[in-house]
Amino acid sequence: MKNDDSLSSDLTIEPLKLKHLSMLRADNNSKYLGIFQILLCKKWFSSLESSLTNLIPTRNSTCLVAVERYNIIAYILATPINRRGTCWCISEPYFIGESISFSRYNLLQNLLRKVLYKSNINTQSFLTSIKTNDNQNLSVIRQSGFQPLRIIKYWNRKEDIKYRKKEYKDNFTWEKLNEENSQQIWRLEQAKESINFRSIFDRQWHDIYEKRNTLTGVIKSKENNIIAGLIPSVCPQNNYSLELIRGLAWDERLNQSIPNRINNMKAGKSNCYIETTSEDNKLNDILHKSDWEVSEERVLLGRSVWKKQNGYKLKSIETELLTNLVGNLQQQPELPSTIHIENNK
């Protein structure tokens, strides 16, 4: 296999097109035909949105396909994860076949390069997640400028476990996401995240509210304070993938309220996954004692794209924030001196 980064004449990486459906039909690959039909429809919507970027931010996925000698080898997805389109999530590559000239390592390199530099995606930041034990893909991602942000545990309910429904109405209530509590849970999320992560992800409260589903909601104390919640995940890997978050200060009532909530979820069933960070030992301990098990661990990585200014200079988001801060400090008015020193005559 070739190990250089240059593309051979037999391999092309291009946006998903109608001709790719014909290639799948020729290969009798019906497994991916339906997926590509849906992605192609989204691509058409995305193209329409791109022509109206000043009016409507792009919200649909972009699919790039690697084709070698009229055979589809792999594809990769990039999806906006906030309403403003300032951050996109890049999927892992999906391999349909094996290349005769390129390794999977090289294919991922070229697919990423196409997404980051040669696609029509107009954004500042990207997120992606890779399995913690996938050293090869992690190496490619790190070489592309991505930095690790957190390790995520994906919890799935154990099979053949029956739960007895309990209620603790005196201690807490469960409330589905609405506009008011979405703003409250968003502020709770912002308080626990680093400045770097917030600048990359750039999630607003309405992003949480718009992506709500039948399983999302908040846990409220009897004082009407939100102490925890299940919200749409940052970079979802499953149809029902929810992030379990809590306040900075630990509330002992969560030892009862969380098991009651997660074990009585009706929708999703075995397809529901709960995400926690690896360092939140208290939440992880509750899930473990509630007969949930870790299905996998993934590294969430982020990248702030360098953007052009005045046609020449390149400046990162972090550099821009620092420059603005220093500029504000330098613009402080000069205080008049109350001491006048006269020259000796």
**Per-residue pLDDT reduced to its tens digit, 118-160:** 887 888 899 999 999 999 999 999 999 999 999 999 999 887 6
So what's the pLDDT on residue 51? 62
CA distances from 323 to 80, 225, 333 (A): 28, 38, 18
DSSP string for residues in 189-256 = HHHHS-HHHHHHH---HHHHHHT--TT-EEEEETTS-EEEEEEE-SS--STEEEEEEE-SS--TTHHH
Helix axes 135-143, 104-113, angle to 10 degrees: 30
Please tell me the predicted confidence (pLDDT) of residue 167: 56
What are the two backbone dihedrals, phi and then psi, of residue 284, each rounded to the nearest 5 degrees? -65, -35
pLDDT at 101: 86
- pLDDT band at residue 49, thresholds of 50, 70 and 90? low
pLDDT of residue 343: 45
pLDDT at 125: 93
pLDDT on residue 148: 94
DSSP 8-class letter at 82: S
Report the C-alpha gap between 345 and 177 in whole angstroms: 78
The pLDDT value recorded for residue 13 is 92
Q: Residue 26: its pLDDT value, please?
A: 67
Read off the pLDDT of each residue in 195-224 and give the average, rounded to a whole number. Answer: 91
Q: Is 327 exposed, middle or buried (0-12, 13-18, 19+ CB in 10 A)?
A: exposed
pLDDT band at 306 (very low <50, low <70, confident <90, very high): low
| Interval 247-283: pLDDT, tens | 888 988 899 899 988 887 754 455 789 999 999 999 9
CA distances from 244 to 152, 215, 216, 249, 273 (A): 11, 11, 10, 15, 10
Look at residue 241 in the predicted model and tell me its pLDDT. Answer: 87
The answer to whether residues 172 and 56 touch, using CB atoms and an 8 Å cutoff, is: no
Q: Which pLDDT does position 7 carry in this prediction?
A: 54
CA distance 96 to 105: 15
Q: Which residue has the tokens 């084709």?
A: 67
Question: Quick one: pLDDT band at residue 230, thresholds 50, 70, 90?
Answer: very high
Q: What average pLDDT does the segment 303-312 reach?
A: 54
Which tokens in the block code for residue 246? 């809590």
Distance CA 341, CA 74 (A): 78
Average pLDDT of the chain to the nearest whole number: 80
Statement: the pTM of the whole predicted model exceeds 0.95: no
Q: Of 24-33, 235-244, 297-306, which range is least confident?
A: 24-33
CA distance 156 to 152: 13
| Coil, helix or strand at residue 181 | helix
- 46 band by pLDDT with thresholds 50, 70 and 90: low
- Among 87-91, 120-124, 193-197, 264-268, the range with the most confident prediction by mean pLDDT is 87-91
Q: Residue 15 in contact with residue 77, Cβ under 8 Å?
A: no
Query: What mean pLDDT comes out for the span 77-91?
Result: 90
What confidence tens digit (pLDDT) does each residue in 7-23 have?
555 789 998 888 888 88
% of the chain beyond a pLDDT of 90: 42
Give the span between the Cα atoms of 266 and 256, in whole angstroms.
18
Q: Give the three-class secondary structure for 170.
A: coil
Q: Can you count the helices (H) and strands (E) in the chain?
A: 10, 15
pLDDT digits (tens, 9 = 90+) for 161-188: 665 555 555 578 999 999 999 999 999 9
Between CA 269 and CA 286 the distance in angstroms is 19
pLDDT exceeds 70 at position 55: no
Encoded tokens for 99: 């290349």
Parallel, antiparallel, or unpaired for β 240-246 and 226-232?
antiparallel
Checking phi first, is residue 313 left (phi over 0); if not, alpha (psi -120 to 50) or beta? beta
**Residue 188 CB contacts under 8 Å (≥ 6 apart), including other chains:** 226, 229, 245, 246, 247
